[in-house]
Every structure is written in structure tokens, then in C-alpha cells.
Amino acid sequence: MTLLTVTGLHKSFGGVVAARDVSFTVARGEMLAIIGPNGAGKSTVFNMVGGQLGPDRGQVLIDGQDITHASPQARFRGGVGRTFQVAQTFLSMSAAENVQMALISRFRQSRGLWTPARERHRAGAVDLLAQVGMAEAADMPCSALAYGDVKRVELAIALAGQPKLLLMDEPTAGMAPQERAALMDLTASIAASQGIGVLFTEHDMDVVFGHAARVIVLLRGQIIAAGTPDEIRQDPQVRRAYLGDSHALEPSQGTGPA
Amino acid sequence: MIALDPSFLAVQALSGLSSASSLFITACGLTIVFGVTRIVNFAHGSLYMIGAYTAATLIPRLLEFSFGPTAFWAGILASALIVGVIGVIIEVVLLRRIYGAPELFQLLATFGVVLVVQDLVVQVFGPEDILGPRAPGLRAPVDILGRRFPSYELALIAAGPIVLGLVWLLLRRTRFGVLVRAATQDRDMVASLGVNQALLFTGTLFLGAFLAGLGGALQIPRVSANTGMDLAIIAEAFVVTVVGGMGSVPGAFLAALIIGQLQAFGILIFPKSTLVVVFLLMAVVLAIRPYGLFGRAEVIGGTHAVGIASRKPQPGRPFILLFTVAALAGFPLIADAYLLKVATEILIFALFAFSLQLLIGVGGLVSFGHAAFFGLGAYGAALAVKWFGTSMETALPLGLALAALGAGLIGAFVVRLSGIYLAMMTLAAAQILYAVAFQWVDVTGGDNGIVGVWPSRWASGPVPYYLLTAALTLVAVLLLKRIIDAPFGYALRAARDSEARAEAIGLAIRRHRWLAFIAAGAAAGLAGGLYAFSRGSVDPSLLGISTSVDALTMLLLGGIQTVIGPLVGAGALHALRDWIMPLTPLWRLFLGLSIIAMVLLFPRGLVGTVRDRWEARA
Ligand SMILES: Nc1ncnc2c1ncn2[C@@H]1O[C@H](COP(=O)(O)OP(=O)(O)OP(=O)(O)O)[C@@H](O)[C@H]1O
Ligand SMILES: [Mg+2]
């Protein structure tokens, strides 16, 4: 069942073409990875799917509904949740309050004027934090958390909206290698059990090849290859794109990256 | 309508061009400084004023020495150079320390410089206006289609494009210029400069101050140097830079041309207020292009995400509340009439500052024109009394409603803007209202304002009016506090902390901010109404910049990061004023230095500092 359909997305910034005729689909419960070198246009694609950027051309459909021009807010209500490359959380609030805020918004209570925010949806928020292994830190100020933990809180915030589609722009950047695999395992199990489609990008190829069902490769805004992890590893064009770093595509020998 | 003959039009257009030139020269310096340092320098107007005073004092001496155009123009140049050096001093002593500070602090600190300079100028140059000499060689008027036109104005018209050309050459052809442009384009680039950064910033301040001084010095044959020049020019220079796009020199030139003509011909439409026309232009431009004509989204001021953070609820809050109520209610038992009057004013300003806290501390919306709502509340109440003969009980809610309405209108405009543009636009809105109150004499009483605004009989007298004020302030503050802790306040904070995240969880940011403006405006309006009845009169100064700055100073003094900060700040500022103003004629100097010291030494304010100490000990 197709959840997300992206067709012919195009975006340029001045002279730089950041996305050129990008098309792909994500099914429910599927994990799709976008990879590509720095500046390939991965975040640009995420932002066009998430609503942070408007495309110059092309279409974004969720469950057959055209959301190409919908605001990020409308997409949230339509079932799109996301994390950002540079984690975006509310640093003046505790971890729990961050998630509570998302729940408050989901239940359309954000204009409530009486019952204090910190008393609303507390249990639900702690549950979500527990899912990402952050229950103990519920009352820590978000500004005092390690970056890896902030990314986890961000995931809990995204899940609070009960998304159908989860966009994760470099979810494990800033984490230790073992943590990365654990977080992606967790994401995979949540995605599978709730039927959430996940679109993610990573520079860590172990994470990509270990967790994605399919991979698409972006180079200078263009998709140069798409397929299963094995197909991508063998693809000569991809190997050329990662020239000088082609061992990045090999399965890891157990030694973590330097 | 007036019959318009071509010669009149030509002369109007020419004088429009000459004011455009003067305006451009000054604003160009402001916009370059902003482009590189991202600081909106309030003191730019002060530099302009120093330029005028210096030239008006220096050039007559030079002309005595050797009369002629050379001495005159050399004097202009020397004055500008002196001001340039003063700019360097300001950069080294102050600005250098606040480049990374939140933009509110930057605005306030440079406003502190404005206050300091106001008193220093009087000390150095004396209290009298100084009329400068006319330019040798340019004294005879020229004939334009049968009308006499001062030839000095023609020289000014030429000066604008000449300065534009020289600045253009400087920016294109020198290494310094390349760095200035690179820094304006890309913020991160500045950080990578390393050692050169300090030099670049100092050099930029020299250039900016030089241009401000030049703009001021060029004025002396036209107007005498006076102490009101700084705020008058800074308002116009802000409009020019904002309309042109902050950081854009060509934008400033274009905007100055437009505004010069608007002022020249606006006189025909609004004889009394060209300022209103100019600010309306800014409103229209920002409504269509939120970053000005040539501005870009990236060029926004410093961070503005400082403010209230979540804290665990204090145990024993009901006791604190009870104690506060008892203290407020019991105060009349121990206080005399004078103290009660002071306490009433402090309470009113506490409410005023607290309402601003909702916008700044909670919403991260640096409103620089909060006086607009205070003044609307005061005028709303006073007008209701004067024109409809209503009682205080009706007038206060009417004032509040007028302020809320005004906040709704202004808020609808400004919530599309961010950072410094929002600050400037709120300032402009307050200035427009100020101009209206000042010039719509038939309704508002103009400069004299409205008198005879007295409370109802049951509330008159120091004790009853104090109790009324205390009760209303307490209720309003508690309600605002409730809002701050409620989802609405949290949503504002969410948008302040991270707009991207707030949007991605479905929060309608602009809607929330708009509602915040209305709530804050209503509370400020209540404070304004209470103030009107406490004094028995209103006047335009309630809408002025200094009223807005008072509220900001109270916030800063008490601490932006705390909820009760503004309340403490209101008391502290009032105490400082009552205590220092009678002692010295230099209270502006003192206040300015205090503001600067607060920004540099205690950016967390009184309450924040005390709380930090307390928590560090615990
Ligand atoms: N707002 C913008 N304005 C101008 N250019 C942009 C903007 N956003 C992205 N770009 C450019 O578009 C291209 C793609 O950027 P994007 O951030 O999408 O890359 P990416 O694949 O996410 O890279 P990374 O792995 O470093 O995150 C880059 O050349 C970038 O410089
Ligand atoms: Mg990216």
C-alpha cells in the first residue's frame, strides 16, 4: 500500500539545483533510506515532503491526497512527523513538556488558558519518552541533555503526533555507534508495529544498509540509483559517486568508524 | 486643493532630493554597521547629533582663521572624522562585548548610549542650540523657474550620489570592502575570520560613525544643532534602512529617495505630519516584503530566544500569594499619601512591564513600541471621559478595549515579521500613534493632552485609588501568569524556542502571536487607563519612545528570564528615578550608564541574579 508518493520534485536556490525531478514512493511500514554525499539535496527533499520548503515543481501525495502546497501544520494533522538534521526541540522546557506540547497540539488544546500545560497529557508523554528510552530524563530540562538524548526526545515528539509517515533527517548524527543501531532498531520496530512509513537519511552506511528495505541515492539533486541495499552496494555509478570513499559502502568489519 | 504650479512642484521635488541625500548619508552608515555587526545601533542618531554640534562649533573657528570654501569643507570632513573616532571608542568599549547578546540587549545598550550622549552633549557644547555658519560660496540662492532656491541645497543633492559612489568604490575595490560585503552576506563567514574580525568590526564602526557625523555636519547651514536631533534622525534612518532592507546600501539609497519625495509632497496632503506618511510607507513595504526592498531573510539580528524557562512549581505558593495580598492591602496603614502615590505608580508600571513580558520573555517578540498600548489605554479612557462624559467604571474598560483593538491591528501587521523588523515596526506603530495624539489637536488636545480625568468619587483619594489599582493589577498579573503557564503560554514559548519544531507539531504560530499581542495590549491598556486616572490627565509622552524604553528597562532590570522580574524592575526603576533625579541634572547619563551596566554585568536582571545565587547555594 503506497503511503507517500513523490513525483517530479524540483527545487533550485539561485543557480544551485538542489533537487531535480525526484520521484519515489514509501509504503506503510516500510523504511526507505536516502543517501548521498554532503550537499546532495537530501535535506531539501525532506523539507519539501515536510512542508518547510515549497517545491518549484512536482507533487507530494500522502494516501493519495495532494499536500504539495500544504503548510507544515496541515501536514502534521495529515500524519507527517519529522525530526530535523539539527535537532529542533524546545530548549526552555523539560523533556516531558516537549512531548506534552506535541500532544497538546494534537488534541487542539494549544489555546487553552486555564489548566497548566505541565499538568496535561503527562502520562502519555512519559509513555512516549519510555518508548525511546528517555523516561528517566522526563523532568530534565531539554537544554541539559546530551545531543544524542535530544535526538531521542525529538523522536518522541514526532511520534506524539501519531504519524503515518516519519521523516528522519540524520537521526543518529552525534550518537555513539552502538547507540545508533539501537535507536534505528527501535524505530524499525515502532514503524513495523504501527505501520508507519519511515523516510530517513544517514551518513553511517551500517545504519543505512542494516535498516533500510530500499535505498535511493541522490547526487547533485538527482536520483542516480534506487534498489535494495545489496543492489545499491554493487551499483557502479554509486561506487563512482562515493569514489575515494567506496569502502564506506562495504559492510562494516566490526570496527567502528574513527 | 492647492493650485500646483510647475515651479512650486520643481522646488518641492528638489528639496525632497536634498533631504533624501542627507538621509541617505546617515542611513547608509547605519545599514553598513548593521550588515556587518548585526547590531541595530540606536546611538547612530547620537553620532549624527555630535557631528552637527562639532561642525557648528568647529567651522566658525576655522572660518575666522581663513575664510573660504576650503576651510568650510575641511571643517565638515574633520567633524566627520572626529565622530568616526567616537564610533571606534563606542565599538571598543561597548559593542564588542554584545555582538553575541540577544537583540533586545543590543537595542537597550545602544539606547543607553543615546541617553549618555544626550547629557554629555549639553555638558560639552552647552544647553543652547548652535546655529552654524552658511557655506562660503553657496550663500546666494539660485533661481529655479522663477523661485529662489538655496544653492547649498543643490550641493547637498549632489552629496548623496557622491557618497554613494565613494562607498560603492570602497566596498568593491578594497579588501576592507570585500570583507564588509562578505560579512553582510554570510554571518558564519565573519566567525571564520579570526583575528581580522575585531579589526573589521572596528573599521566598520568607524565608517558608519563617519557617515553619521558627515550627515550631521552637513546640516549645520540649514538647521541649528539641537538636542532633539538624535531621536528625530534615528527614527527616519531606521525607516530608510528597514524599507531598503537592512544591510543593503543601494536599498538605503532608493528608500531615501522615495522617503525624501514623500516628505516633500506629503506636506501637501498631511500638512502636519510627514512622519505618519513615512511610517505608513514602511508599514506597506513590510506588509508586502517582510525584509524590505533589498533585504534577505538571512540578515536578521542576533538571537532573540532568551526568556522564561520551565521551573518546578514553588512549594507554598498559596502562602506567597496570601502574603502579597496582605502586604498590598495593609500598606495604606503605614504609608502616607506620597508613598501611596508612588506605590500606585509602581503597581501600574509593574502591570505595564509584566504585559510586555508576555511578548518578550514568553513569546520572544521584541516589541519596541509597547507604549502604543499603554497610551491607547490612557487616551481611550481619557477620551471617553472628555467626549462622552463617562464615569471611570466605563472609561477603564473602554481604554482597555481600545488598546486591545489597537494591539489586534498592529499585531496583525507585525506577526509576519521577525527579529529586528518586528522591533522596528512596533516602534513605528507607536510613533504613528504619538504623531496622531500630538497633531490631532481638536480631539486629543495635542501637546497639552487631556485634563480632568478623575476617578469616581468612591475611588478618589490616595487610599481608595491605591487599593483599586492594587486589586486590578493583582488580578491582571495573576491572569497573565495563568496564561503563561497554560498551553497558550507554552505554545508561545515553543514558537520562540524553535519555529521549525513548533510548526512541525501543528502549532499555528502567527495566530498565537497575534492573540498574545491582543492579551498584552489589553493588559497594557488597563495599566494606561489606571495611569490616566491616577494623574488626572494624559499627554502624548505616554505614547513616546521613552515610555516604551521604560518598560523595556524594567524588564531588563528585573530579569527577562523570570516571571516576577518585571514587577521588581518596575519598583527598582521607580526608586532609582525618585532617588537620583532630584540629586543631579545628569540623570539621563546615570540611567544610560545603568542600562549599559545591566546589560554587561547582570544580563539576568535583579531577580535572575539573586535566584542564580540562591540556587547555586542550594
Ligand atoms: N536555503 C538555501 N538557500 C540556498 N541554498 C541552499 C539552501 N538550502 C540548501 N541549499 C543548497 O542546496 C544544496 C543541497 O543542500 P541540502 O541541505 O539539501 O544537502 P544535504 O544532502 O542535506 O547535505 P548534508 O548531508 O550536508 O546535510 C546544497 O548545495 C546547499 O548549499
Ligand atoms: Mg542535510
Judge if the beta carbon of residue A15 lies within 6 A of ligand 1: no
Three-state DSSP class for A80? strand
Contact: B503, A52; criterion CB under 8 Å: yes
Q: Which residue's entry shows cell 539621563?
A: B588
Domain limits for position A61: 1-79+165-258
Is pLDDT above 60 for B298? no
**B446-460: buried (b, 16+ CB within 10 Å) or exposed (e) per residue?**
beebbeebbbeeebe
Q: Which CATH number do you get for residue A5?
A: 3.40.50.300
Bridge partner list, A2: A27
Residues A69, A179 share a domain: yes
Higher pLDDT among residues B185 and B64, named by residue: B64
**For atom 11 of ligand 1, which residue has the closest CA?**
A18
Highest mean pLDDT among A218-222, B45-49, B175-179: B45-49
Mean pLDDT of chain B: 89
Task: Report which secondary-structure segment, H or E, holds B450.
Answer: strand B450-451
pLDDT at residue B187 in the model? 67
pLDDT at residue B273 in the model? 66
Residues in chain B with CB shorter than 8 Å from the CB of A92 are: 305, 307-310, 493, 496-497
CA terminus-to-terminus distance, chain A: 40
Q: Cell for B358?
A: 508576555
Q: State the distance from the centre of ligand 1 to the C-alpha of B197, rounded, in angstroms.
A: 27
Share of chain B above pLDDT 90, in %: 54
pLDDT at residue B283 in the model? 83
pLDDT at residue B467 in the model? 96
CA terminus-to-terminus distance, chain B: 74
Is pLDDT above 60 for B522? yes
Nearest to A48, CA basis, from A38, A58, A40: A58
Mean pLDDT, residues B536-540 taken together: 94
The region that residue B68 occupies, defined by phi over 0 for left and psi between -120 and 50 for alpha, beta otherwise, is left
Mean pLDDT, residues B513-523 taken together: 97
Confidence of residue B103 (pLDDT cuts 50, 70, 90): confident
**Gyration radius (Cα) of chain A, Å:** 18
**For atom 24 of ligand 1, which residue has the closest CA?**
A38
Q: Which residue's entry shows cell 552633549?
A: B121
Residues of chain A with pLDDT under 50: 253-258
pLDDT at residue B2 in the model? 53
Show which of A131, A162, A193 is a domain's final residue: A162
How high is the ipTM of this complex? 0.93
Judge if the beta carbon of residue A151 lies within 6 A of ligand 1: no
Mean pLDDT, residues B281-308 taken together: 72
Spatial strand order of the sheet with A31-35 comes to: A80-83, A165-169, A197-201, A31-35, A214-219, A222-227
pLDDT at residue B484 in the model? 94
Residues A183, A142 share a domain: no
The secondary structure of chain B in percent helix, strand, coil, rounded to multiples of 5, reads 75, 0, 25
Cβ atoms within 10 A of the Cβ of B189, count?
12
Handedness of CA B42, B540, B292, B102 (dihedral sign): positive
CA distances to B5, B8, B260, B274, B482 from B2, rounded to whole Å, are: 9, 11, 21, 17, 57
Cβ atoms within 10 A of the Cβ of B609, count?
16
Asked if residue B266 lies in contact with residue B278, where contact means CB atoms within 8 angstroms, the answer is: yes
Task: Report which secondary-structure segment, H or E, holds B147.
Answer: strand B147-149
Residues A174, A150 share a domain: no
With 0-12 CB in 10 A as exposed, 13-18 as middle and 19+ as buried, what is B384? buried
Residues in chain B with CB shorter than 8 Å from the CB of A101 are: 487, 490-491, 494, 505
Is pLDDT above 90 for B581? no
How far apart are alpha carbons A53 and B260 in whole angstroms? 38
Predicted TM-score (pTM) of this structure: 0.89
Model confidence pLDDT, tens digit, residues A8-18: 999 999 888 99
**Cβ neighbours for B528, distance < 8 A, ≥ 6 positions apart:** B352, B373, B374, B375, B376, B377, B378, B379, B380, B381, B399, B403, B542
How far apart are alpha carbons A238 and A246 in whole angstroms? 9
pLDDT at residue A174 in the model? 81
Residues A139, A26 share a domain: no
Is pLDDT above 90 for B509? yes
Q: Cell for B605?
A: 536582571
Nearest to B65, CA basis, from B52, B49, B78, B82: B78
Model confidence pLDDT, tens digit, residues B120-131: 999 999 999 998
Is pLDDT above 90 for B218? yes
Share of chain B above pLDDT 70, in %: 96
Is pLDDT above 90 for B527? yes
Residues A257, A193 share a domain: yes
For domain B317-617, say whether CATH 1.10.10 is its number: no
pLDDT at residue A247 in the model? 59
Residues A104, A61 share a domain: no
Handedness of CA B573, B578, B579, B581 (dihedral sign): positive
B254 phi and psi angles, rounded to 5 deg: -60, -45
Three-state DSSP class for B538? strand
Q: Does A144 touch chain B (CB under 8 A)?
A: no
Domain boundaries, chain B: 21-227, 317-617
Is pLDDT above 60 for B455? yes
Highest mean pLDDT among A96-100, B294-298, B550-554: A96-100
Asked if residue A197 lies in contact with residue A30, where contact means CB atoms within 8 angstroms, the answer is: yes
Residues A185, A250 share a domain: yes
Three-state DSSP class for A139? coil
pLDDT at residue B318 in the model? 85
Lowest mean pLDDT among B202-206, B438-442, B603-607: B603-607
> What is the DSSP secondary structure assignment for residue B252, as one 8-state letter?
H
Which of A77, A112, A161 minimises the CB distance to B488? A112
Confidence of residue B9 (pLDDT cuts 50, 70, 90): confident
Cβ atoms within 10 A of the Cβ of B597, count?
12
Query: Could you give the angle at the alpha carbon of B117 between the alpha carbons of B116 and B123, nearest 5°?
Result: 100
Q: How many domains does chain A have?
A: 2
Is pLDDT above 90 for B254? yes
pLDDT at residue A248 in the model? 61
